[in-house]
Structure 1
Amino acid sequence: MSPLGISLAIFLLAFWEVVGKTFSYESIRLDPADSHDFPAIRFDNKAAGSPRTTTTARCRAWPGSNDWPSDSEWQQLNTSLGGALLKPLPPASACYQGDQYNESTCRWLVNQAGRTHFWLDDPLSTLTQWPQGSTCTLVSHPQGSCTRGGFPEYVVNATTVKQVQAAVNFARNKNLRLVIKNTGHDFGGRSMGAGSLSIWVHNLKSFEFIPHYRVGQYSGMAVHVGAGVESWEHHNHMAAHNIAVVAPGGSTVGAVGGWISVAGHGLLTSKYGLGADQVLSNNIVTADGHFLTVDPNNHKDLWWALRGGGPSTFGVITSVVLKAYPAINITSTSLSFTVNPFLPLNRTLTPNSLTNITSFWNGVSLAYHYCAHIIAAGGLCYSYIYPLGNSSFTFTSSQTIPNITAPALTALLSPLYTQLNTLHTIPVTLPTLAAIRAVPYAGNSRRTGAAEPANTRYRSRLFPSYVWGHAMLWAEVFASVRAAVEDGGYTFHGIAYSPTAEMAGWPGRDSAVHEAWRATALHAILNEVQPEGITAEEARGRDARVQAYVDRWQELMPDAGAYMNEGDPAESNWQDRFYGSHYQRLLGIKREWDPWGVFWARTTVGSEEWAVITLDGYPAGQNGRLCRVQHK
């Protein structure tokens, strides 16, 4: 190559490194001069010794309180935002008698909206309804009236960093509760809050493939991803560029934000590690309103904390740079069987069904135990145990492994099927080679996303891999799973994978991710649908009942952590369960970067200093004012 060609190559490499760090919307930033006529959006400085806007107020401002911004201030904020301030109504208000009632709209919302992207594109809605307070639930013929409840009072439709900065500054300076939302794919209510200002990052959809990226010990392909990109969009971009990137398994989960800030799991967890392990750089607006690039060379405390230290805690992420890999294929098979011990003798058993309940549970235990072989091959087991009533249960699972041939997969699974048939008389058949095919992990560039609101409540633990090596402990652990399904009536959701520190590589192995992740073999979840309209007392009773089963898991596996994104917002001792030994270090970083407590969400670092005073006493709900905890 000529000297000119070498120079050009060096220039192009440097070009990709620089361009990959900021999007055009990140170059539009708030200038200190913007606050001259509107001091409510001025910056602050955490390094100034005593931040001038630190509040000693017992509670955050509340609509109607003396410190709530005036209408003119909200109008000035909207002007500063270029008209991006919204005050949307809950969509379900169309179903309630009153000015917003619309029968045809209500019918469409109830019957059709969940098949579209509507709920994900709504600035208020979250896909889990119960934290909102169930004050405006989506039903065809509701009783009473629709009120805002735990939904935010105002929403900033952020399309530039300037808008994010102005919103953060306004919330800090005016003592407002602040929340952050993308799609609302949120089981714990972190993206809502009564009386709050919400920063909606959903429309930060930019994506860029970087053929050559170099930082620290990493040199290779990367992608730059905007905070609003969802997993289905992420996969479409992968397909377009013929690459693979670790991404959420759920199509409508945000590929940035809270997913990577907690840990982030998906189909490639046992091959390339967690979502947090992929991060090479973060762009973020911190609590003082400033925009920073956080990477291995800049703001090293934040760099460590942002990868696994929790969402809605240290700032508003506007984009990230992630590792990218060559395109890969994935190969999957499914396994399922059902037990119905009271099937009439004259009824013919359907395929994969049995009547012996002991055989059923022994088979399920064997299937979960065999997942260790799938993990060792870099794959994942994804499964459910459903209670069907009348002592009947269904077990469904899929085994997915990257870059494996059909013959190799059948050879790997053959011993499992043999044992299910011969040891437990479970009539399952190993899929034929013709029925197994490899498909591109990235898909075909034509993925879409749809979702509808639900009332699912999650409780979870990360089962350590050592359980698989101790027969007696395994028997006790699995007996506790069986009891939760058989006696408790809960659905069990298990995802087997192993994101070890070795798999995480650099820089993932040195991060704030809970250490339990590095030794886990199964993400175990109990879920149920929280009934609408139950009282706070009934909710507390339900919590105590399911928690007894989770406590048994903790008793058997004291070092088991939990995945906050699919955990319980009412989790006791959440500091240890969600953060482990990292909590005190994270708390110090939180107090350093956010002495005002601008960023708050339940079970995030430092959140124990505040609590939502719910209007009805509903546990872990967001329908109430955020106030300081009064220590005795």
Structure 2
Amino acid sequence: MKPNLVLVCLSAFIPSLAAFKPRELLSDSIRLTQEDIGDFAAIKFGDETAVIRDRQVSNCKVFPGDEAWPSTEEWTRLNDTIGGVLLKPEPAAAACYQGPGFDQAGCTFLLTNASSSHYWLDDPLVALTQWSQGSTCPLASDPQGNCTRGGFPEYVVNATNVRHIQAAVNFARNKNIRLIVKNTGHDFGGRSIGAGSLSVWTHHLKEMEFIPSYSIGPYNGMAAHLGSGVESWEEHNFMNTYNTTIVSPGCGTVGGVGGWMSAGGHTTITSTYGLGADQVLSLGVVTASGSFVTADPFTNTDLFYAIRGGGGATYGIVTSAIYKAYPPVNISSSSLSFTLSQPSSTPGPNIITDAETFWQGVGAYYRFAAQVLDAGGFGFGYIYPGANQTFRFTTSSSFPNLTPAAAFAFMQPLYDTLADLNINLPNPTIRSSSLYGSRGVGIGPAPGNTRYRSRLLPRANWENDTLWNATISAIRTATSGGFDNDFYFHATLTSPTLSVAGWPGNTSAVNPAWRSNRMHAMLMDSAAVQSADRDDTMRVYMDLLREVSPGAGAYMNEGDPGEPEWQQAFYGENYARLLEVKRERDPWGVFWAPTTVGSEAWRVSVVDGYGGSQNGRLCRTGV
């Protein structure tokens, strides 16, 4: 029996078992040594204190074809040092293009069955948004042109332990190669791809350990030790096994310990327990020097502060995290939908033919949602535009630890308000609750081209009638003006205040805009081809949301990489402190991704001219 399982089993028989520090995960315990390095100087450790910042050796990262690009022999030696986990994969969609990689059967599988499996999550290259890669090898049944590498990395380290990550970081730093970090590929801003790069793929760091009693500072309770490659559906299966709850991403195939957490991380229960970043009690991190460190409230406190909410893959690479765990939570949910149709349509319970009535109904739900959030609940919905200024509104409200009958009663005042607006819908009966942490399976979508823009709308907008009316007007205008109905509105409503964040969540770098948030408002563009014209149009509509929320912010994970004044929008008043941490911990500029802290010091020379694409060389800006 494994040692951690012995402790778990013993705790069931000995209630007084003292709180204990968990063992290291096996993947964290396997580290790079001087013996591993030997005379291979390309993977030697760095020293932050010895760097003279104004004497950096190059204005650009080394690129394939450059004289300084590592030789085949050097790549081979790196591979040998890390036990053969260095990959040089081809883009999966190459199977659909005429050429040496053409495979009709493989192409058919990608087009018809891959998204009904875990295939795309297990691909070492792909990000689920193609435009940020440059769309140089898009998946298509009859593709035009050639499949080229574009923004995909040149090499990938399939990391299954800290040693692999340390060697990759050291090699990239010493050879001046662009380094990127990828887990599942749920990346809508170009942060897990990059032309001419070496990628650290953390997807297979899958260890999980239940800790029945964990103490650190004022925290005493259950905890979970999770590898950074663990996906939400795997966390849910873990919760089910141990009869516990961990705050995890709402989408089952999103990783809970990587980029989701490090930018904040919202989900169904964040109005009750706080954001993903608020759950962290300890972190395992590989720094830019190649060192492996523990960061917690008392050790490496700068990293512990910065990584929890200050953005991913910029201060170090997270290998594992210890999360708070809670008793089981049951969720009662209520759904609502109605449609604005043409005046000639036949009215029905869910069919509205008057535009003013429709938008009043939308506003009634969104304003009522403040009460849902104050009760620890969550809202999730969309406004989809149709032809001829028709719309469909759909949303759900979820209540942790509220019985179905209590949730039904809670929602009734909303339906009374809707009836006063002549929207006569029945309050739907909630027949049962569902366990947060029910078992699931990981099924991932195919790569697409959706582009997100977001705004965190504060509670002040709900508390002033004039500001509220301006907010709904902005949402209405923004949703009504998209290209060929490809623009749509997505709202997640959650309230992760400092009070629910608790300790040590209240000491993190989470964007302060989250603490007063009511609505994470998103404008989304689902077009197959993104363009500068579409960007310009969307920016006009996003400005309407910015105007009604001055000084607020945006959520980096579902934000626009072209966000104006992104330092303030994504990080708020924390930016200056975070930049100090970045410069101290990574004076070489090893870690870079768009709109991460310190990223203004570099830029990508985009090949196709579309903003946000990562298919060009990375060079310094002189900032």
Structure 1 residues 266-345: aligned runs within 5 Å: 266-344=267-345
Q: In the alignment, is residue 406 of structure 1 matched against residue 404 of structure 2?
A: yes
Structure 2 residue identity aligned to 1:472: T
Whether the 8 Å CA contact 1:382–1:494 is kept in 2: the answer is: yes
Q: In the alignment, is residue 540 of structure 1 matched against residue 535 of structure 2?
A: no
Cα distance in 2, alignment partners of residues 96 and 310 from structure 1: 36
- Residue range with higher mean Cα deviation, 553-562 or 576-585: 553-562
> What is the aligned counterpart of 1:47 among 43, 46, 49?
49
Cα distance in 1, alignment partners of residues 569 and 94 from structure 2: 38
> What is the aligned counterpart of 1:485 among 479, 483, 501?
479
- Say which SS state the counterpart of residue 321 (structure 2) adopts: strand
Cα distance in 1, alignment partners of residues 35 and 177 from structure 2: 23
> What is the aligned counterpart of 2:588 among 579, 587, 596?
596
Moved over 3 A (4+): 8-14, 48-51, 348-351
Cα distance in 2, alignment partners of residues 354 and 589 from structure 1: 54
Cα distance in 2, alignment partners of residues 78 and 571 from structure 1: 39
Cα distance in 2, alignment partners of residues 388 and 618 from structure 1: 28
Structure 2 residue identity aligned to 1:510: T
- Say which SS state the counterpart of residue 303 (structure 2) adopts: helix
Deviations 1:498-532 (A, max 9, x none): 11111111111111111111111110000012432
- Say which SS state the counterpart of residue 425 (structure 2) adopts: coil
Cα distance in 2, alignment partners of residues 403 and 276 from structure 1: 22
In the alignment, which residue of structure 1 is the partner of 2:393? 395
Structure 1 residues 134-213: aligned runs within 5 Å: 134-213=135-214
- Say which SS state the counterpart of residue 386 (structure 2) adopts: strand
Corresponding pairs, count:
610
Q: In the alignment, is residue 17 of structure 1 matched against residue 18 of structure 2?
A: no
Cα distance in 2, alignment partners of residues 34 and 353 from structure 1: 69
Under a length normalisation based on structure 1, what TM-score does the superposition of the two structures give? 0.94
Structure 1 residue identity aligned to 2:142: H
- Say which SS state the counterpart of residue 251 (structure 2) adopts: coil
Whether the 8 Å CA contact 1:332–1:436 is kept in 2: the answer is: no
- Say which SS state the counterpart of residue 579 (structure 2) adopts: helix
Whether the 8 Å CA contact 1:458–1:567 is kept in 2: the answer is: yes
Structure 1 residues 92-103: aligned runs within 5 Å: 92-103=93-104
In the alignment, which residue of structure 2 is the partner of 1:618? 610
What is the identity percentage for the equivalent residue pairs of Structure 1 and Structure 2? 51
In the alignment, which residue of structure 1 is the partner of 2:231? 230
Give unpaired runs (5+ residues) of structure 2: 1-9
Cα offset for 1:11?
11
In the alignment, which residue of structure 2 is the partner of 1:265? 266
Cα offset for 1:189?
1.1
Structure 1 residues 82-161: aligned runs within 5 Å: 82-161=83-162
Deviations 1:378-424 (A, max 9, x none): 00011100001111100000000001112211211111111112x22
In the alignment, which residue of structure 2 is the partner of 1:583? 575
In the alignment, which residue of structure 2 is the partner of 1:38? 40
Cα distance in 2, alignment partners of residues 113 and 447 from structure 1: 15
Q: In the alignment, is residue 554 of structure 1 matched against residue 564 of structure 2?
A: no
In the alignment, which residue of structure 1 is the partner of 2:427? 430
> What is the aligned counterpart of 2:368 among 363, 367, 370?
370
> What is the aligned counterpart of 1:519 among 516, 521, 529?
516
Cα offset for 1:373?
1.1
Deviations 1:25-68 (A, max 9, x none): 111100022222211000011133649x9733011010000111
Cα offset for 1:9?
7.2
Structure 1 residues 343-362: aligned runs within 5 Å: 343-344=344-345, 348-362=346-360
Deviations 1:264-315 (A, max 9, x none): 0001110000000000000000000000010011011111111111111111
- Say which SS state the counterpart of residue 165 (structure 2) adopts: helix
RMSD of aligned residue pairs (Cα, Å): 1.8
Cα distance in 2, alignment partners of residues 468 and 45 from structure 1: 50
Cα distance in 1, alignment partners of residues 155 and 357 from structure 2: 55
- Say which SS state the counterpart of residue 190 (structure 1) adopts: coil
Whether the 8 Å CA contact 1:136–1:147 is kept in 2: the answer is: yes
Whether the 8 Å CA contact 1:55–1:175 is kept in 2: the answer is: no
Cα distance in 1, alignment partners of residues 112 and 178 from structure 2: 34
Cα offset for 1:156?
0.3
Whether the 8 Å CA contact 2:494–2:519 is kept in 1: the answer is: yes
Give unpaired runs (5+ residues) of structure 1: none
Cα distance in 1, alignment partners of residues 361 and 466 from structure 2: 17
Whether the 8 Å CA contact 1:235–1:447 is kept in 2: the answer is: no
Cα offset for 1:540?
2.1
Whether the 8 Å CA contact 2:382–2:394 is kept in 1: the answer is: yes
